[in-house]
Chains A and B, each alone.
Chain A
Amino acid sequence: MVRRLPRKDVVIVGLGWTGSILAYELSHTGLDVVAIERGPWRDTATDFNIGTAADELRYAVRQDIFLRPKQETLTMRNNPSQTALPIRKWGSFLPGNGVGGAGVHWNGQTWRFLPDDFRIRSHYTERYGEAFLPEGNHIQDWPVSFEELEPYYDKFERVAGISGKAGNIKGQIQSGGNPFEGARERDYPTPPMKQGYQQELFTQAATKMGLHPFPRPSANLSAAYTNPYGCSMAPCTFCGFCEWFGCANYSKSSPQTCVLPALIREPTFEARTECEVTKVNLTVDGKMATGVTYVDANGEEWEQPADLVLVCAYALFNVRLLLLSGIGKPYDPVKDEGVVGRNYAYQTGSGSQAFFENVQFNPFAAAGSTGAALDDYNSDNFDHGPHGFVGGASITCAHTNGRPILFHPTPAGTPAWGSAWKKAVHDNYQRVANIGAQGSVMSYRNNYLDLDPTYKDALGRPLMRMTFDYQPNEQKMANWMAARCDEIAKAMGAKTTQVNPLRVPWNVVPYQSTHNTGGAVMGSDPKTSVLNRYLQSWDVPNVFVMGASAFPQNAGYNPTGTVGALTYLGLDGIFNYLKSSGPLVQP
């Protein structure tokens, strides 16, 4: 039996980056806010203690702090003609769980997308003609421009304390930064991170080649910093336990370091953890949300009424909650109609592995965002005409760690075991640099999310089904990028290099990227988007949906900077909604 709890002004589903920012900003105005989080509460001192945090087996291999597939997973297949099967063990991507969400275990690379990325369809059509766009694509412009998002990017960067070097302040190109970035109002709040020896080689080689390398923007901080919420962080010590780990040192921006200490002091805020929201409840006509239903730690069901429902789970689980709640029309790829689950996209990874001689790269001395990058081949920063593909990649020379269970590179052809393997591991640990291209993925008619007809979660609800593969456009792009990476690797003085093309078909086993985007995209037309430009549901105006699920397609960058910016844009929308109580954009 579902029991009803007293009404709240705002209920927030999920207490990660987006949920904690909105919870703070809204409870700060005096609203009664409850955040419902299915995972545990996590604090730095207890959960990422320096005496326990640096444990590769526990966190990176056994995936201790991630969502456990037993609780929820997805099914997957590469195309609609196949039968999807459950992802029984995470591999290609690793969703977070608990307070802080994926903001606990991320690497911290915090990018702004480029101005062209936001009007990608118009831009490509104007420059190359519509016929240039790939077959079956669903590429669409964002409903906001870079210029409109700039102040929100800035806001998130201030809260997170991002370390970096501006490349373009108010139109003035800054030496040492990224000359391709959109004009920013001011520099990053903290200076760029120190770089390692391989980044030095990369920067020299790339500069000589006429490219434009710069230290990539980092949420592992270069200096002590106190953010606008009054939360303080300490400089990063390059301990090498960053991605897939919580930071023990208060050096990695996360909800724990940047928001929760301020949020928890708001007297009208309450978090309920180990409670899983199962549904957003709607009025009989389906036009307004009345709150959420959740299941507590004992399996009891509760109804939490609220005037405003903010869906702030991980991108994939936002989409599933909308599907399970009947908010928005589910996407049907056969008819090419409907919107929820439409435009799922991901990220490409390709590059070159470079083996050097007589170097000591000391890979263990690293942070999640140590790395030099260049954007010469990203977005439309180069002429795509001769290449016949859409999109691009950020190219980086980066190493995030030297943790040896997962990092013990050997040259191709080395046996997987025995004395020859052991010698190769011994000889190569210090002398490998990876030049990687993290590329965009466009949206397509046949890459989408829906509910699985067979498999259920522990509560008996259908799992979400992911139908995804890299399309010819992405393969062409990523493999061209791998060749660019290889040129740079050779120019760095590598003795030998190995080109890593894009792995196709997409496979769930090797880790690739937790940059799952789309499925509840923002747009200007309710026929092709779930949300309007304020991340407000077109169909249920008191529901706002945060996160990378709003991206119409994915760019050649890590998503969190843009997720943060959209959160502050959405917050402005929520403030407007609280004044006017209706759709903020008329369809």
Chain B
Amino acid sequence: MDTELQQHATVRHWISTVDEMFHLSDDEWSERLGVLRDFCATTTTDPDRMIADSRANRDAKNEYMRRLKSFARERYPAPRAAHDAENVVRSFFIHNGARVFVRPYE
């Protein structure tokens, strides 16, 4: 698993709370951490900073969500794959207490 990303408290918290319920495999986590890592790279911020910004400021959170949409569309051409990639980051936000909208895939 991405050990560098796990240096961030929000990432460790995310893994811990998700696995408390869902016990994802190493492969599943590798994939999820990969999405988060790549998204953080596009926003030139780190996970802890992203959550802190989002919890402090609704506009900042909305901006991250807008950039998430663009990131997912560009990185994952298939619509469902893009939606699932967005959900990875949304999961990260949800488990760290940063409110985000969730919608089904339609």
A and B, one complex?
A: no
Interface residues of A (CB under 8 A from B): none
